[in-house]
Structure 1
Amino acid sequence: MATFRSAAVLLAPDGTRTPGTAALFAEPSRKGGIPPWAGDFRPANSAGNGPKNALKKPFTLELPDGSTGKVVVQSVKQGKGGVVLALMGEDAPPF
């Protein structure tokens, strides 16, 4: 299982950019297909609670090296540590 943790930007369809930290993982592909991947995104303190009405919406996750991946927000959790968006990747993992 590949893992990745780094600064990232969540890009909304309207062009709004939300900086934060992504913690992503991929699992081995099944029968030669595209490996499934998912993870969490924590908006930076300067980004507040992150994108509004993000649940079940498509976004683009942009990594520091310029690679991108399409994601859908599966859940939004608010806790003592701030907001955490659970992401499900589409297509090939960008890491």
Structure 2
Amino acid sequence: MDMKIYLFLSYATGDDPIVKECLKNRLEKLYDVKQIHGNVQLIKTDDDISLLKTYLEECFEEEGSYFLVEIADQPNRYLKQIDGYLDRWMNDI
């Protein structure tokens, strides 16, 4: 089965430690996750986006918000890339 890459951004969770801990635990259980900034992760998995959405949104209450976007199979484009590991991670599908 083909691996897919998703961009996951959670925000407006406030300082709710329950939501943060729930997300941390769920992200740790996924196949491969790359933390790219604060609360922004790249997720590599063979799951469908609807399964991933259901899995992650159970952590959120009505105040919490998130984006979950599938990244299409396109060549990498970057300027002044300083993290070589991220480039290898993206290409290792």
TM-score w.r.t. length of structure 1: 0.29
Q: Which has the higher contact order (CA 8 A, sep 6+)?
A: 2
Higher strand share: 1
